[in-house]
A and B are shown apart, each in its own frame.
Chain A
Amino acid sequence: KAGVTQTPRYLIKTRGQQVTLSCSPISGHRSVSWYQQTPGQGLQFLFEYFSETQRNKGNFPGRFSGRQFSNSRSEMNVSTLELGDSALYLCASSSGTGIHTEAFFGQGTRLTVV
């Protein structure tokens, strides 16, 4: 079974630009969650999508948005990039059914804002 695939692996953007990150979950998984990982703040939950609907949301500004397609693939968009958005963005997939299911993480997209 293929794991969670995130593309691209690395990205360099300029302040003010926008960026789109992609995540392909494990086949059959319907839930995709996004996390931001930084040395200072650690792993912070951004949002979760299940069956094309946002089911959970963390405490990030509206510049951070996401969507999920009918094949469960998900994209995350960050608009008007700031230097502080530089981070490793991780996507996790799970079956999404039941209250607790194991989350499988991708290798992440390393975003650098200059």
Chain B
Amino acid sequence: QQQVKQSPQSLIVQKGGIPIINCAYENTAFDYFPWYQQFPGKGPALLIAIRPDVSEKKEGRFTISFNKSAKQFSLHIMDSQPGDSATYFCAASMNRKIIFGKGTRLHILP
């Protein structure tokens, strides 16, 4: 079954902390793993993405860690800021079809 499991559902972190969002997938045919950020009233926006032949990717304060053997990947946000408060979706893609996790509502306390 094409499914992506995401945890936690919600997360509260103090400013400057490092929130970590975890995802797991089942179908080994997935070959592209993007993360999306969504603010209220807006559509999701691509944050960062990784392919399964890479174990880590950094873009600014955002880092994806990927464990192909465990079929798990996670997002770390360094030096988190109140402006990072949003809903984050992990996803897995195959043949241009994106399967999303259920999302994590992140709140960064000032």
Q: Write out the residue numbers on chain B whose beta carbons fall within 8 Å of the beta carbon of A102.
A: 34, 46, 49
**Is the CB–CB distance between A43 and B43 below 8 Å?**
no
Q: Write out the residue numbers on chain B whose beta carbons fall within 8 Å of the beta carbon of A44.
A: 100
**Is the CB–CB distance between B96 and A43 below 8 Å?**
no
Number of A-B contacts (CB under 8 A): 58
The SS class assigned to the A binding surface is strand
Interface size for B (C-beta < 8 A) is 22
Q: List 18 A-B contacts (CB under 8 A).
A: A31-B96, A35-B100, A42-B89, A42-B101, A45-B97, A45-B98, A56-B97, A58-B97, A92-B98, A94-B96, A100-B49, A100-B96, A102-B46, A103-B98, A104-B45, A107-B41, A107-B42, A107-B43
**Is the CB–CB distance between A56 and B41 below 8 Å?**
no
Q: Write out the residue numbers on chain A whose beta carbons fall within 8 Å of the beta carbon of B43.
A: 4, 90, 92, 105-108
Q: Write out the residue numbers on chain B whose beta carbons fall within 8 Å of the beta carbon of A55.
A: 96
A51 to chain B, nearest CB (A): 13
**Is the CB–CB distance between A103 and B46 below 8 Å?**
yes
Q: Which of A35, A48, A105 contacts B96 (CB 8 A)?
A: A48
**Is the CB–CB distance between A105 and B32 below 8 Å?**
no
Judge whether A96 is part of the interface by a CB distance below 8 angstroms: yes
